[in-house]
């Protein structure tokens, strides 16, 4: 899952990015509203964490502009304000949730996970492919009854495959959603994680579709 943080308090933004990256998300950070709007309209994000008091364009206007343009990405708004009218204004512009500073990091992560689950329009977070069972909400993986321990990045790569099980997922799509915008390393890093998943889960689960990407499917 790829997240965008739009927050002008740089220490807070970097702290959030570090924590969410450790949770397995790909995280990009910008510090003003105009850049945030540009990124959110040009790149495929799964969720935005959007401050209200921003230089260039405030969070209300960013949120309103995204909704007016038809973008339905979940938006969690952050603000130092604490009045009920501020919350109402944020939600009226199209935000999905609202968190007042100072806030607990644990609460923020819980809100992020809830919004991402909600985006699935009620779909079950549990995906079963043959003997493989992946719970994307609890971030747990089982083969038959045995739980497999994955790193955060391994789980994120697997998640991209399992939510589209049976379909081909390209290397570039995996990079976009698992690594952040600033990643400029070797794109073959995806192959390294695919190999790790095959070792842990079984080589027959993930098929390479030459020239196209990877497909997760039950062994025949």
The domain spanning residue 20 has which CATH number?
3.40.50.2300
| pLDDT range class, residue 180, cuts 50, 70, 90 | low
The domain spanning residue 148 has which CATH number?
1.10.10.10
Beta sheet of 126-129, edge-to-edge order: 126-129, 132-135, 140-143, 146-148
Residues 27 and 115 occupy one common structural domain: yes
Whether residue 190 is predicted with pLDDT greater than 80 in this model: the reply is: yes
Residues 148 and 175 occupy one common structural domain: yes
Q: Could you report the per-residue pLDDT of 95-152, keeping only the tens digit for each?
A: 888 888 888 888 898 889 888 877 654 556 788 999 999 988 778 899 998 999 998 8
pLDDT of residue 82: 56
Whether residue 81 is predicted with pLDDT greater than 90 in this model: the reply is: no
Quick check: pTM over 0.75?
no
Q: Could you report the per-residue pLDDT of 32-74, keeping only the tens digit for each?
A: 999 999 999 988 898 999 999 899 999 999 999 999 998 889 9
Residues 8 and 116 occupy one common structural domain: yes
pLDDT of residue 96: 87
Residue 20: give the domain boundaries: 2-120
């Amino acid at each position: 899952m790829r997240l965008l943080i739009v927050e002008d308090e740089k220490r807070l933004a970097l702290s959030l990015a570090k924590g969410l990256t450790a949770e397995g998300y790909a995280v990009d950070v910008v510090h003003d509203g105009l850049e945030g709007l540009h990124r959110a309209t040009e790149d495929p994000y799964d969720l935005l964490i959007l401050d209200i008091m921003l230089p260039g364009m405030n969070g209300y206007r960013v949120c309103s502009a995204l909704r007016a343009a038809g973008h339905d990405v979940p938006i969690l708004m952050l603000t130092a304000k604490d009045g009920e009218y501020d919350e109402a204004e944020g939600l009226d512009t199209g935000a999905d949730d609202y968190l007042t500073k100072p806030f607990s990091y644990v609460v923020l992560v819980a809100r992020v996970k809830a919004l991402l689950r909600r985006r699935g329009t009620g779909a079950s977070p549990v995906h079963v492919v043959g003997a493989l069972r992946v719970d994307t909400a609890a971030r747990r993986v089982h083969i038959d009854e045995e739980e497999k321990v994955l790193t955060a990045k391994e789980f994120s790569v697997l998640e991209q495959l399992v939510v589209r099980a049976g379909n081909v997922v390209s290397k570039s799509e995996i990079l976009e959603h698992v690594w952040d915008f600033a990643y400029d390393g070797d794109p073959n890093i995806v192959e390294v994680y695919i190999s790790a998943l095959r070792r842990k889960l079984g080589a027959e689960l993930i098929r390479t579709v030459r020239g196209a990407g990877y497909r997760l499917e039950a062994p025949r």
